[in-house]
């Protein structure tokens, strides 16, 4: 304390201001770095993001963009596959009044996590759209991840000509169970509902998409 008293006044003020700020920053970083711990939003009493992705306006926007309905549960949804499967998390469809329990989905399925603020996602969406249009052997489903602007997400889908549907994970419920490290991320689900592969990168071309789909899902497109 005596050493602090000898410091110039301006430096003493800086110490009293900067040290508490750094302490708070370290607490926030430690909270967001572990999926098993509460988020900074929860600790600060902010709760989860209250974003409605199914408003009448968003539903009109989705229909105007020609985006398809979300997939229905598989008839085989009651059976549980051996091995990694999609988590039993129900997410609302983006711009639709339906919801999807991911654990009920069966493939062949390409599940792509994206956000309207993600540049590489924007670039690869037309490639996945081409897959959606080219074959009925594979279902393509998007997950608009931690996106607080669903209207802009639908606007991006329209701008890129994307008509395959997406569910919305506003609160990031999939981050821990899918061990997400960034966007885009694409999961490949087989006919038994098993997650057989995960690509944590953007696709570079349509040929790249086809090669990975054929390899991971053992298909001939």
Residue 50 pLDDT grade (very low, low, confident, very high; cuts 50, 70, 90) = confident
180 closest CA partner among 60, 73, 35: 35
Name the pTM for this structure: 0.78
Buried/exposed 49-59: b ≥16 CB within 10 Å, e otherwise? eeeebbeeebb
Instruction: Answer whether residue 48 is part of any domain.
Output: no
CA distances from 202 to 122, 151, 206 (A): 10, 23, 11
**Summary mean pLDDT of the chain:** 84
32-36, 169-173, 180-184, 216-220: least confident range: 32-36
On whether both 38 and 60 belong to a single domain, the answer is no
Task: Tell me the pLDDT tens digit for each residue of 36-49.
Answer: 444 434 433 344 66
pLDDT of residue 196: 98
pLDDT of residue 6: 54
Task: Tell me the pLDDT tens digit for each residue of 65-75.
Answer: 999 999 988 76
pLDDT of residue 27: 36
pLDDT of residue 9: 54
CB atoms < 10 A from the CB of 126, how many? Answer: 13
Residue-range definition of the domain harbouring residue 164: 56-217
* Cα–Cα–Cα angle for 66, 189, 118, rounded to 5 degrees: 55
Which has more pLDDT, 86 or 28?
Answer: 86
On whether both 66 and 89 belong to a single domain, the answer is yes
pLDDT of residue 72: 87
Instruction: Answer whether residue 49 is part of any domain.
Output: no
On whether both 67 and 137 belong to a single domain, the answer is yes
CB atoms < 10 A from the CB of 33, how many? Answer: 8
Instruction: Answer whether residue 191 is part of any domain.
Output: yes
10-19, 195-204, 212-221: least confident range: 10-19
How many structural domains is the chain composed of?
Answer: 2
Could you tell me what percent of the chain has a pLDDT over 70?
74
The CATH number linked to 97 is 3.40.30.10
On whether both 67 and 37 belong to a single domain, the answer is no
On whether both 7 and 76 belong to a single domain, the answer is no
CA distances from 28 to 17, 32, 49, 145 (A): 17, 6, 17, 21
On whether both 62 and 39 belong to a single domain, the answer is no
On whether both 159 and 181 belong to a single domain, the answer is yes
On whether both 124 and 156 belong to a single domain, the answer is yes
CA distance linking residue 149 with residue 52, whole number of Å: 10
Residue 91 pLDDT grade (very low, low, confident, very high; cuts 50, 70, 90) = very high
């Amino acid at each position: 304390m005596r050493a602090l008293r000898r410091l110039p006044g301006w430096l003493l003020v800086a110490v009293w201001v900067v040290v508490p700020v750094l302490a708070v920053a370290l607490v926030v970083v430690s909270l967001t770095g572990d999926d098993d711990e509460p988020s900074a939003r929860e600790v600060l009493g902010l709760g989860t993001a209250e974003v409605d992705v199914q408003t009448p306006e968003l539903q009109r926007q989705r229909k105007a963009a020609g985006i398809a309905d979300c997939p229905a549960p598989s008839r085989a949804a009651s059976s549980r596959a051996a091995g990694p499967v999609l988590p039993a998390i129900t997410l609302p469809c983006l711009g639709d009044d339906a919801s999807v329990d991911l654990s009920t989905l069966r493939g062949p399925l390409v599940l792509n996590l994206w956000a309207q603020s993600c540049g590489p996602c924007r670039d690869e969406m037309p490639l996945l759209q081409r897959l959606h249009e080219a074959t009925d052997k594979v279902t393509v489903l998007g997950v608009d991840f931690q996106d607080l602007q669903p209207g802009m997400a639908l606007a991006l889908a329209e701008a890129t000509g994307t008509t395959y549907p997406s569910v919305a994970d506003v609160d990031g419920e999939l981050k821990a169970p899918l061990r997400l490290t960034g966007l885009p991320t694409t999961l490949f689900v087989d006919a038994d509902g098993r997650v057989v592969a995960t690509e944590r990168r953007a696709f570079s071309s349509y040929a790249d998409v086809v090669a990975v789909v054929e390899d991971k899902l053992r298909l001939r497109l």
